[in-house]
Amino acid sequence: MTRKIVLTLLLAIAALTASAQRPRLKVEWGAIYGLNITDFSADTKQTDVKNKLGWQLGIVTAIDWGAFAFEPQIIYVRQGLRIRPDGGPEVNLKSNSVDVPVLASFRLLRPVRIYAGPVFTVVNNVRQKSGGDLLDFSRVRPTLSYTFGAGVALMRHLLVDLRYNGQFRAKHDVVLPDGGNLDKLRSHSVALSFGYLF
């Protein structure tokens, strides 16, 4: 009888110790806003591409297991570029997209977090201002790209985030406002964002 009681107590202590060492699951969410510098480039030498400063706004979430976190996000991205096709008039374009990064985040050196993952672009359009109208005519972002970067959470709530966004391959057959097209358009960007975690 005494052996059973001692054995039961030892098993209970071992279970409590294991549960105390197991990292607690935390869910965090917040909002970010920032600027992006995009580099669009075309294979055609006759087409001159100039890049403009863009911005982004989004909602970030994380399921945190301690040293590792899973971070799905939703980010609205505005990017700008000017294209002068084949020596013609310069066209001022605005690209609007909704990106869904699905990131794996490593948090061994808190408050620093390092992450990487795929980015799914679920909405993308490009508009040209013509008179008083905005004409939607094309898409310049791929539907699948990637990102990696690092962030730091200051005072547990303020987030500073720096990312590189790249493409797996160039965007093909981008239609221009004059009806022409670019065979290949590549882009990559660097984004600096500031956020608040709740």
**Chain segment 109-168, per-residue pLDDT in tens:** 889 999 999 999 998 888 876 555 555 656 777 789 999 999 999 998 999 999 999 998
Whichever domain contains 39, its CATH number is: 2.40.160.20
Does residue 1 belong to any structural domain of this protein?
Answer: no
Task: Tell me the pLDDT band of 20, cut-offs 50, 70 and 90.
Answer: very low
Does residue 77 belong to any structural domain of this protein?
Answer: yes
More confident residue, 196 or 15: 196
| pLDDT tens-place string over residues 53-101 | 999 999 999 999 989 999 999 999 999 888 777 667 777 888 899 999 9
Does residue 83 belong to any structural domain of this protein?
Answer: yes
Does residue 147 belong to any structural domain of this protein?
Answer: yes
Q: CA 17 to CA 26: how far, in whole Å?
A: 20
Are the C-beta atoms of residues 115 and 161 closer than 8 Å to each other?
Answer: no
Residue 180, domain extent: 24-197
pLDDT at 9 over 90: no
Check residue 90 and give its pLDDT. 77
pLDDT at 18 over 60: no
Q: CA 139 to CA 172: how far, in whole Å?
A: 10
Check residue 19 and give its pLDDT. 46
Does residue 16 belong to any structural domain of this protein?
Answer: no
Does residue 73 belong to any structural domain of this protein?
Answer: yes
Q: CA 26 to CA 162: how far, in whole Å?
A: 23
Does residue 143 belong to any structural domain of this protein?
Answer: yes
Owner of token pair 């964002």: 193
More confident residue, 182 or 161: 161
Domain tally, the chain: 1
Check residue 83 and give its pLDDT. 79
Check residue 4 and give its pLDDT. 61
Does residue 5 belong to any structural domain of this protein?
Answer: no
pLDDT at 173 over 70: no
